[in-house]
Amino acid sequence: MDRIVGGKYKLGRKIGSGSFGEIYLATHVDTFEIVAVKIENSKTKHPQLLYEAKLYNILQGGSGIPNIRWCGVDGEDNALVLDLLGPSLEDLFVYCQRKFMLKTVLMLADQMITRIEYVHSKGFLHRDIKPDNFLMGLGRKANQVYIIDFGLAKRYRDATTNRHIPYRENKNLTGTARYASCNTHLGIEQSRRDDLESLGYVLLYFLREVSVVINNINPSLPWQGLKAATKKQKYDKICEKKLSTPIEVLCKSHPVEFASYFHYCHSLTFDQRPDYGFLKRLFRDLFSREGYEFDYIFDWTILKYQQAQRAKTQPRLSPVSGGMSARAMPMDVDKQQASAAADTSHQEVIERVGPSNVPKPAVRMQLKTTGDKFYSSESQRLDKQRVGSGTDKGSHNPVHLRFQACRRRMLVPITLGRPMLLKFLEVWATTMALRVVGFLLCSAMLQPNDFVGIADGLEEEILMCS
């Protein structure tokens, strides 16, 4: 029997799990809208889901904050129903072979600083800044960064007095050791500066400098991959490595703005409000200096497009006679055109049969119908009757040559498109009728020079159509 959470959300498959519990897809029984449901056993030692739901309610309305749909106790579980979001930045980082280009990192940094600023403006610290806790949206919000998972968040200002929490030491490490600030490792109470320092480590993690040495990948953060017997020993090793690595060494492979970012974070006092605008301008100036355009084209956007392009072009490039694809070969080309097309390079073929959802040069074709063949053969028959078949006289007859030229111009290249094609066919039908009448009148009453005038008129009308 399907489980219904909150009386209206039918639980589906599991899409994630963690120390807090599990995440499921769910469908609204009336609207069939798909949402995400976080479930936590209400008897767990340290329940946090209902506390997290309170924070979501406080943060509601902010850009990049998922909407809360329902929260409460469902049977023996605590449940939280939220908007369904897209992949996390960690998922996308893996998808892009664990390397983001500078442009992508700077576009993400701008939004991530804004999200942290908003959380701080509501009086809370996140305290677990990491790639897994930033998700991209879906649909029209696919380019928007969302911040999630407030289970470790803490109020740093008193709700009534607005006073900052006091400075304290000997605190346990809260958050993820890889991205934790130096002060957090030292047991100092976290404040706004620590969220921003953690974000700096996330950005360096994304700017991974890959170097293969004896089949080992050099990690972007020096304290990644450290081994230890216990978790505490590992945290101590990370702390030692983090504190002993100068900022200039940490950022040596990256633009100077990243070192400036860390220097600014380390200069902040415990209760000082960070200048979020300064940090965003720091990266925006770098973005402009590099000549980038804020077009929301991330690395994964390009990768998905390239994969879709390959999927679309490969079937169209299947071999056909003459080594051309069926899409690339013009319709009813003559022998000279077919020979030239067969020599077209592979790159030219790819450009001509590229995916239909991107701009490309207009495909052109030649219109040569059965009716044209009929009138062509009819004109040849009349020409033979008038000037004789296969003689030099017939082959140089001015009327014959003029109409051959006119007939060749009927093979007018036109851009594919229904309105233009219909217009062309309309004019073509008219000119064909005039051509037959012309042939019939030619032998009876017109002189060659008169017939040339008719041909000129036909040519002008055809050219106007094309």
- Active site (annotated) includes residue 110: no
Backbone angles phi, psi at 18, to 5 degrees: -170, -170
Backbone angles phi, psi at 85, to 5 degrees: -115, 175
Q: How far is CA 237 from CA 230, 234, 365, 440, in A?
A: 11, 5, 69, 100
Distance CA 352, CA 345 (A): 11
Tokens for 75?
Answer: 């049977």
Q: How far is CA 21 from the centre of its chain?
A: 32
Distance CA 435, CA 457 (A): 11
Closest Cα partner for 110 from 66, 148, 134, 145? 145
Q: Specify which residues 124 forms β-bridges with.
A: 155
Instruction: Tell whether residue 43 is among the known ligand binding residues.
Output: no
Q: In a 10 Å sphere around its CB, with 0-12 CB exposed, 13-18 middle and 19+ buried, how is residue 148 labelled?
A: buried
Residues 261/279, Cβ–Cβ less than 8 Å: yes
Alpha helices per DSSP H over 299-417: 299-316, 335-342, 346-352, 370-387, 392-395, 398-409
Q: In what order do the strands lie in the sheet with 21-28?
A: 4-5, 9-18, 21-28, 34-41, 77-83, 68-74
- Out of 128, 149, 194, 195, the active site residue is 128
Distance CA 125, CA 155 (A): 6
Q: At what angle do helices 448-465 and 398-409 cross, to 10 degrees?
A: 10
The enclosing H or E element of 34 equals strand 34-41
Residues 76/171, Cβ–Cβ less than 8 Å: no
Residues 235/279, Cβ–Cβ less than 8 Å: no
Q: Residues marked as binding for ATP?
A: 38
Residues with catalytic function: 128
Q: Residues marked as binding?
A: 38
